[in-house]
Amino acid sequence: MSENQKKVWVTGASSGIGKAVAEKFAKENWKVAISARREELLNDMAKNSNIFAYPMDVTDQNKTQETFRRILKDFGEIDLCIFSSGTYERKSEKGLSVENVKKVIDVNFIGVVACVKSVQEYFQNKKSGHISIVSSPVGYRGLPKSSGYTASKASLNNFTQGIYFDFKKFNVRVTLISPGFIKTALTDKNEFKMPFLKDTNYAAEKIYDGLVNKNAFEIIFPPQIAFIYKVFQILPNKVYNYLVNRFVNK
């Protein structure tokens, strides 16, 4: 390992965007710690000399804290965290299920909060570093048949915006990552045509470029989705509700 090699911790790394991002950073010669529940998939990824597996479940807050301590002990320091764990159950989202909403919130929101908490003291004492959180543009406005998922992403968006100010005074950068439709095992569950669908390699390239080469608070892509959701943000409720209702009833 080079003395100047940068180090990153990626959660939700066993598949989808998290996996592609971890492999992209490893390709760019970062030392990459990867975490997810599926240990066998992490171990397979760890055949790459720049990738190291640290299995955990983000809903276990004690395990999350313990995992970060192990990574820190092994790596010596961490420059960047990419928290991208998430879940989505399309069938359960069709109805209003308290159990499903709780499960989704526990993984997509509380799990990420626990990850941030595990690194908070380290980065604030270090007075440098970078925390990034993978959310979604759907967090900007409510959507039908998505009672848990959009709520979890709305929570993430607001949480990330809030901690931006909390960490800025310690010289720690915070970034919100908002991918549009990316082809993964989660989006494969969708039963509708997904506009501007991209693959995970596209997402990884956009995320790497945004985190390493740019300094914006939000990384949102592709550009068509970015435009649509930025317009959605400013539409009056009456107009937004009318448009979504027309789309749903087609």
- Residue 250: its pLDDT value, please? 58
How much of the chain, in percent, has pLDDT values that exceed 70?
91
109-131 per-residue burial string, b: 16 or more CB within 10 A, e: under 16: bbbbbbbbebbbebbeeeeebbb
How much of the chain, in percent, has pLDDT values that exceed 90?
68
Rounded Cα distance, 56 and 214, in Å: 30
Average pLDDT over residues 119-131: 98
- Residue 3: its pLDDT value, please? 60
What CATH number corresponds to the domain at position 27?
3.40.50.720
What is the radius of gyration, based on Cα positions, of the chain?
18
- Residue 144: its pLDDT value, please? 77
Structural domain span for residue 176:
7-248
- Least confident segment among 34-48, 67-81, 123-137, 138-152: 138-152
Average pLDDT for the chain: 90
Selecting among 54, 140, 149, 229, the annotated active-site residue is: 149
pLDDT digits (tens, 9 = 90+) for 167-193: 999 999 999 999 987 887 666 566 667
- Residue 125: its pLDDT value, please? 97
pLDDT digits (tens, 9 = 90+) for 20-76: 999 999 999 999 999 999 999 999 999 999 999 999 999 999 999 999 999 999 999
Q: Is residue 2 part of a domain?
A: no
Q: Is residue 32 part of a domain?
A: yes
Q: Is residue 1 part of a domain?
A: no
Residue 156 scores a pLDDT above 70:
yes
Residue 96 scores a pLDDT above 50:
yes
Residue 1 scores a pLDDT above 50:
no
Residue 17 scores a pLDDT above 70:
yes
Average pLDDT over residues 198-215: 95
Q: Is residue 17 part of a domain?
A: yes
**Residue 227 Rama label (left phi>0; alpha psi -120 to 50; beta):** alpha
Instruction: Give the C-alpha distances (Å, rounded to integers) separating 119 from 24, 64, 115, 175, 177.
Output: 23, 10, 7, 15, 18
* Residue 200 or residue 196, greater confidence: 200
Residue 2 scores a pLDDT above 60:
no
Number of domains in the chain: 1
**149 among known catalytic residues:** yes
Rounded Cα distance, 49 and 81, in Å: 19
Q: Is residue 86 part of a domain?
A: yes
Q: Is residue 224 part of a domain?
A: yes
Q: Is residue 91 part of a domain?
A: yes
* Residue 182 or residue 81, greater confidence: 81
Q: Is residue 243 part of a domain?
A: yes
Asked whether 18 and 85 are in contact (CB, 8 A), the reply is yes
- Residue 243: its pLDDT value, please? 87
pLDDT digits (tens, 9 = 90+) for 102-117: 999 999 999 999 999 9
Average pLDDT over residues 2-11: 88
